[in-house]
Amino acid sequence: MPPAAIGLLVLLTLLALGLSWQAHERVQQLEQELVRRQQSTQAESSEARALARQAQDVSRDSAAKLALVEARLSEVALQRSQLEELIQSLSRSRDENVLVDIEASIRVALQQSAITGSAEPLVATLRQADERLARYKQPRLEGVRRAVARDLDRVKAINVVDVSSLTIKLDEAVRLIDELPLLSVAQRGKAETDEAIASDRAPAKKRPVPAAAETGWWPELQAQWTGLAGKVWGEARTLLRVTRIDNPEAMLLAPEQAFFLRENLKLRLLNARLALLSRQFDTAQADLRDAQSGLERYFERNSRKVLAANELLRQVAGQARQVNVTRPDDTLAALSAAAAGR
């Protein structure tokens, strides 16, 4: 083999060895780089797993915090809705409170008027309601104010029984009872007066003068019998009286029974007074009728004091009647309509 070929072969061999060596070095470097990359990847993977675990924990904590925040948010939203409702209710409550207060006061005044029989509680309540609505100046309540004005005029037009003045008149009638002259006493006094006047006006009877010729015992006896008969007739006239009596029971009233008669009349009038104070007008009318009947039956009708007592009882009987207080229906209807928002 020629030396050139051998040299070329040697050169190729050396070149191949150099290339293989270089390749081997290259492979080692690649292996080292791969190992280093693998180690770095493992470290990064471990770090990534740690970070993932940490991120999972953070995510779990964030989820719990988010749930707590959502609960708080829902609670805040509920409180906000309640607060808005409260604000709206407060904005509406002023009108509603005014309407409720006025309606409650009117119903209480109606009960007081029914118990006392007087329209003053209802009149005072309606006036207060009118003044309150005038100060409030709410346009939607003008209808209520007009209804209050109508009911106020209607209630004030009622003539309610003035119980205080009637009781004063009954007290005056009770005071007059002791001073009223009885019919029996008046009739006796009148008969005695008439008899005295008649005896004064009657001409004196002249006793017959016996004639001069008439002498003896017979004319004297006749004169004695005539004088005795005159005395008997005079005594009989004092014992018997003939008068006209319209009420026999009044004349049969004994003097000791007059006290009980007057006390009975006083009790009748006091019962009528109590009936007026308790608003039992039927009972009061019955007692007043009995008292008037007693005055007409047992007392002198033409007496000034009896006439005054009869006039007092007549006035009380004419005014003691049941009067129903008008209900403020227009006001109650207007209050209901305003409360309903119409």
Whether residue 190 is predicted with pLDDT greater than 60 in this model: the reply is: no
Cβ-count burial 23-58 (b if 16+ within 10 Å, e if not): eeeeeeeeeeeeeeeeeeeeeeeeeeeeeeeeeeee
Q: Read off the pLDDT band of 192 (50, 70, 90).
A: very low
Identify the pLDDT of residue 105.
87
Average pLDDT score, the chain: 77
Mean of the pLDDT values across residues 55-64?
Answer: 88
- DSSP line for 49-117: HHHHHHHHHHHHHHHHHHHHHHHHHHHHHHHHHHHHHHHHHHHHHHHHHHHHHHHHHHHHHHHHHHHH-
Whether pLDDT at 112 is above 60: yes
What's the mean pLDDT in 98-105?
A: 84
Confidence of residue 205 (pLDDT cuts 50, 70, 90): very low
Mean pLDDT of the 125-147 span: 82
The answer to whether 281 and 320 are in contact (CB under 8 A) is yes
Cα 11 versus chain centre, distance: 136
Question: Looking at the predicted structure, is the pLDDT value of residue 89 above 50?
Answer: yes
pLDDT > 50? residue 249: yes
**Under 8 Å between Cβ of 152 and 102:** no
Torsion, Cα 78 80 85 86, to 10 degrees, reads 110
Report pLDDT for 202.
Answer: 45
Distance, CA of 5 to CA of 191 (rounded, Å): 205
Q: What is the mean pLDDT of residues 2-30?
A: 81
Q: What is the pLDDT of residue 193?
A: 47
- Band of the pLDDT at 337, cuts 50, 70, 90? confident
Confidence of residue 243 (pLDDT cuts 50, 70, 90): low
Residue 179: pLDDT above 50?
yes
Question: What pLDDT does residue 259 have?
Answer: 81
d(CA 301, CA 214): 59
Predicted pLDDT of residue 210: 47
Sign of CA dihedral 110, 112, 117, 120: negative
Q: What is the pTM of this model?
A: 0.46
Predicted confidence at residue 255, as pLDDT, reads 65
- What is the average per-residue pLDDT within 314-329? 76
> What pLDDT band is residue 157 in, cutting at 50, 70 and 90?
confident
* Of the candidate ranges 87-91, 216-220, 239-243, 281-285, the one whose mean pLDDT is the lowest: 239-243
Interval 3-12 mean pLDDT: 78
Among all chains, which residue has been given the structure tokens 């019998």? 225
* pLDDT score, position 178: 85
Q: Whose CA is closest to 187, among 261, 245, 259, 258?
A: 245
Looking at per-residue pLDDT, the higher value among 41 and 198 belongs to: 41
What mean pLDDT comes out for the span 279-301? 84
Provide the pLDDT for residue 309. Answer: 87
Average pLDDT in the 72-81 region? 88
